[in-house]
Amino acid sequence: MISIKGPGLKIFAAVIAVIALGFGVYSTFIKSTGYETTTATIVSIEEDPDYIPDADNENDVQYITTAKYTVNGKEYTTKLDTYAPE
């Protein structure tokens, strides 16, 4: 059993930190190898008609953003997960 006091908590925190660092390196460098690099162009930005805004924020709007990009001569169109007008 790990005690909240003493070296047990420090060891536990160190193990969690090493696991998080390893996952970060894996997802950033190893998992992403083999992908093509490209540039996307935003082709449309529309307000989401199904979005229910926050009543406390009069400027609360959510957008549906569509982008096009080409990889190896094939054109793709996709909706972006996030968009901020700033």
Whether residue 7 is predicted with pLDDT greater than 90 in this model: the reply is no
Instruction: State phi, psi for 31 to the nearest 5 degrees.
Output: -65, -30
Range of the structural domain that residue 26 is part of? 1-35
What is the CA 86 to chain-centroid distance, rounded? 18
Do residues 46 and 31 share a domain? no
d(CA 6, CA 20): 22
Do residues 49 and 74 share a domain? yes
Give SS3 for 48.
coil
d(CA 46, CA 66): 9
Task: Please give the tally of structural domains in the chain.
Answer: 2
Comparing 51 with 83, the larger pLDDT belongs to 51
> Is 47 inside a domain boundary?
yes
Burial of 69 (0-12, 13-18, 19+ CB in 10 A): middle
pLDDT at 3: 52
> Is 60 inside a domain boundary?
yes
8 beta partners? none
> Is 30 inside a domain boundary?
yes
Do residues 30 and 54 share a domain? no
pLDDT at 84: 74
Instruction: Flag whether the pTM goes above 0.75.
Output: no
pLDDT at 74: 92
> Is 86 inside a domain boundary?
no
